[in-house]
A = this chain, B = another copy of it.
């Protein structure tokens, strides 16, 4: 038996009972079809002029439905012949976009986001330390050795080093074994990256410190020192955040 929440599964318990709106009905039907698996990621929906007749509606109404589905991240719309609505696999953009809006709406501040990141990275690393297998360790070591080359190559390749650093953390998220962490991780990264792009580049000392941190984290993960790994990861991110904060006036 598959757990199924009471009808429709919309988050707010129920959604307002306005089945008036025809386009909403179209949205629901197409969404169900996609979620049910009638359309696999990569598949294309029929062209608008066909759909409009399937749903017995006007093209305008149908297009409003497609706009909603597009915004939900379920489909992507391509132009030109053999274009049309293609079913997407990801669905991660809406999450990042919502967080971005919260930032710009001043519902949360950059400081909140960086603090949250520290917490999450700590959690993820702790979980990863619990669950890492030997293959995982090897993967991490490979990434670390790449990072080592970059830091040895000097300040000029800081961008590549930070990329290795990012992949290290992403790997930890995967090892942690809960895909939610991957999504959360991406969501944070998407929104924090633009700020870093403005305030970098870092100095040599920072890079070495960063590399040192990763080594210690890997060592703790290797030895299943769960809480140590978590705390080290927390501090690793914390130091980086403080470093970035020092590069401009303190923000609210």
Binding site for B on A (CB under 8 A): 1-6, 9-13, 20, 23, 35, 60, 63-64, 67-68, 70-74, 79, 91, 93-105, 107-108, 110, 112-113, 115-116, 119, 123, 127, 178-181, 183, 187, 190-191, 193-195, 197-198, 248-249, 251
Contacts and interface: CB of A to CB of B under 8 A. Distances in A.
11 contacts: A6-B197, A9-B104, A11-B99, A11-B100, A12-B93, A64-B64, A91-B105, A91-B107, A95-B95, A119-B123, A119-B127
Nearest to A183: B102
Contacts of A5: 194-195, 197-198
Contacts of A96: 11-12
A190 B115 contact: no
Contact of A72 (B9, B60, B71, B116): B71
The interface centre, meaning the residue of A5, A64, A71, A251 with most chain B CB atoms within 10 A of its CB, is A5
A187 B191 CA distance: 18
A116 B178 CA distance: 8
In order of increasing CB-CB distance, the 7 nearest A-B pairs are A5-B194, A11-B96, A11-B190, A71-B71, A94-B98, A67-B67, A116-B180
Given A68-B70, A91-B102, 14 more contacts: A3-B195, A3-B198, A9-B103, A11-B187, A13-B194, A35-B105, A60-B60, A64-B67, A68-B71, A73-B101, A91-B98, A94-B94, A116-B178, A123-B123
Q: Is the interface of A mostly helix, strand, loop or mixed?
A: helix
Contacts of A123: 119, 123
B108 A180 contact: yes
A11 B107 contact: no
Nearest to A94: B98
Contacts of A93: 11-12
Nearest to A122: B123
B98 A194 contact: no
Contact of A98 (B10, B98, B179, B248): B98
Contacts of A63: 60, 64
